[in-house]
Structure 1
Amino acid sequence: MPPQRAGIQSVEVGFSLLQVLSTSPGPLMLRDLAAAAGMSAAKAHRYLVSFQRLGLVAQDSGTTRYDLGPAALKLGLAALSRLDSVKLARQLMPALMAQTGQTLALAVWGNQGPTLVHWEESPQAVTVNLRLGDVMPLLSSATGLCFTAFSHPRLTAGAKSPGRLALLVKDELARNQKLARKDVPASMAELTALLDEVRLRGMARAVNTLLPGVAGFCAPVFDADGHLALGMVALGSLATFDPEWDGTVARPLAAAARQLSSDLGFKQG
């Protein structure tokens, strides 16, 4: 444990008021704000006067309710502008690998589709022939299905003005039809049903469709605006990989993705 350093207790106590406001669905009356922060109304009022002077808190003159002020907004936006989602995700990888024992990767949306930008291979895992910079197929990989299911609605195949994702999906569907593949979607109806399941499960899974004998999961990570920031991937040989939705790989992967989304400012609806 790092050594305890001396601080200013009153700052820490007063910060509890800001924490309550940050998690409240709307402005609060003084008595409710104080009660939620675990202090008397008189004590809370003294802190709120100072916070108002600093712009961290604002009070509506009509309702007398308190809410976060413009200075709090500036601090939040500054923090979000400095966030590096991939850097934060990489910090979670060692613990996640210890839990799953599987190879892990991170993917972001690139010019040609979901692209692997970080790779950590488990020493116990069977080597998978993938490399950094590889673009994952949209319909036969867990990564591709994750990005297809959770990307911004305007990018979906049914949009009036198809974006890059919709065009890539259309091309891949056509290839699957030409190859007469039965293990991946070959029609929009099949794809829609599969994407509905991905959204219902909260993550994507692929078994034997990307590579023979290989399974994988991809869990979405969302930013503060609710947009897909990256995908957290776990994959490995079916000899050691647990492909169950509630198994030893899926559960910790989903938990890590939820934690990272929260760190990026995403609030679960």
Structure 2
Amino acid sequence: MSSTTKALTLLSHFSTKRPEIGLSQLCRLAGRDKATTYRHLQALETAGFVEQNPATKHYRLGPAIMHLAQVREATVPRETGAINVIKELADATGETAHVTVLSGSTLYGLSACESPHHATRAVIDINIFPLHATASGLCALAFGPEDLFQTALTKMENFTSATPATPEALADLVAHIRLTGFGQADQIYEDEIQAIAAPVFDHTGNFAGAVAVASVASRFTSELEKTIKAELTIAAHEITRNWGGVIPAQIEKAWAASTTHSNTLEPTS
């Protein structure tokens, strides 16, 4: 990994839940020493990608990020094409809905909407989605570029006791997803959270990201699963259309079979 890449990856640790990060905390998050992290932060600060809060001396995203975000949204309006869809999805399912986008070999969170139907609900508080341990990530492995699988194998962190821990276990999950058209994650990233995701495509005809619903496990039933899958197919069609794409015929066929019959979440080990 180049020095430039290492510096830029520091930006992925900032989020709406963590808008400011001190040097020592960022060292822990990135797994790097203080001298290297500080040097990278100085380079990012010079370019306007981060700035220091004068009061706290913590780092936050800089004005250059805002400019690039505005350019990105103006030229590739992904969030605009998804936000209303996931609001409707959250309302229809009563659970948290969110959208991710694939950039290179990284799956980023784009937007999320929590349903007001329940006091206890899933909270999406990550920016980068592990490919092997989230419903959206598994969708990317099943329907995205083939080399993503090898990328996932290099980052197979165990998040829970159910997280797939071997290449064979992960391959089995991906194979099942290709048959059903849905990525399913039964408490493999967080205990007590179950999620289902559907792939979305853009004008290139390629996998562009995923739309997903995350539910508190104690609320998850076969009836809720049917509802989520039915609503996900609607949402995936709408987002794909808004992004200029078309759902591939084989996925349409898999969805039709999967939503006709009750499919229980398969074990991950």
Please point out which of 88, 99, 108 is paired with 1:95: 88
In the superposition, relative to structure 1, how do residues 138 and 261 fare at CA in structure 2: closer, same or farther (>3 Å)? same
Q: Distance in 2 between matches of 1:130 and 1:265?
A: 26
In the superposition, relative to structure 1, how do residues 187 and 244 fare at CA in structure 2: closer, same or farther (>3 Å)? farther
User: Which residue in the other structure is 1:43 paired with?
Assistant: none
Post-superposition offset of 1:89: 1.4
Q: Distance in 2 between matches of 1:85 and 1:261?
A: 10
Report whether the alignment pairs 1:130 with 2:119: no
Give the SS at the match of 1:172: coil
In the superposition, relative to structure 1, how do residues 239 and 245 fare at CA in structure 2: closer, same or farther (>3 Å)? closer
Report whether the alignment pairs 1:227 with 2:206: yes
User: Which residue in the other structure is 2:246 paired with?
Assistant: 266
Report whether the alignment pairs 1:113 with 2:106: yes
User: Which residue in the other structure is 2:138 paired with?
Assistant: 145
Q: Distance in 1 between matches of 2:111 and 2:87?
A: 13
The two structures have a TM-score, normalised by structure 1, of 0.56
Q: Distance in 1 between matches of 2:161 and 2:215?
A: 22
User: Which residue in the other structure is 1:172 paired with?
Assistant: 155
- AA aligned to 2:133 is S
Please point out which of 171, 174, 182 is paired with 1:192: 171
Give the SS at the match of 1:247: helix
User: Which residue in the other structure is 2:197 paired with?
Assistant: 218
Report whether the alignment pairs 1:204 with 2:183: yes
Q: Distance in 2 between matches of 1:219 and 1:230?
A: 9
Q: Distance in 2 between matches of 1:83 and 1:135?
A: 19
Give the SS at the match of 2:219: coil
The two structures have a TM-score, normalised by structure 2, of 0.56
C-alpha contact 2:90 2:97 (8 A) present in aligned 1: yes
Instruction: Please tell me the root mean square deviation across aligned C-alpha atoms, in Å.
Output: 2.7
- AA aligned to 2:248 is Q
C-alpha contact 1:244 1:250 (8 A) present in aligned 2: no
Deviations 1:229-250 (A, max 9, x none): 2211111212333467961112
Instruction: List gaps (5 residues or longer) in structure 1.
Output: 1-80, 158-165
The number of equivalent residue pairs is 174
- AA aligned to 1:190 is A
Post-superposition offset of 1:209: 1.4
In the superposition, relative to structure 1, how do residues 129 and 120 fare at CA in structure 2: closer, same or farther (>3 Å)? closer
**Stretch of structure 1 that moved more, 221-230 or 183-192:** 183-192
Q: Distance in 1 between matches of 2:124 and 2:231?
A: 23
- Which of these two proteins has the greater Rg computed from alpha carbons? 1
C-alpha contact 1:101 1:122 (8 A) present in aligned 2: yes
Please point out which of 58, 78, 81 is paired with 1:85: 78
Q: Distance in 2 between matches of 1:122 and 1:113?
A: 27
C-alpha contact 2:87 2:97 (8 A) present in aligned 1: no
User: Which residue in the other structure is 1:251 paired with?
Assistant: 230
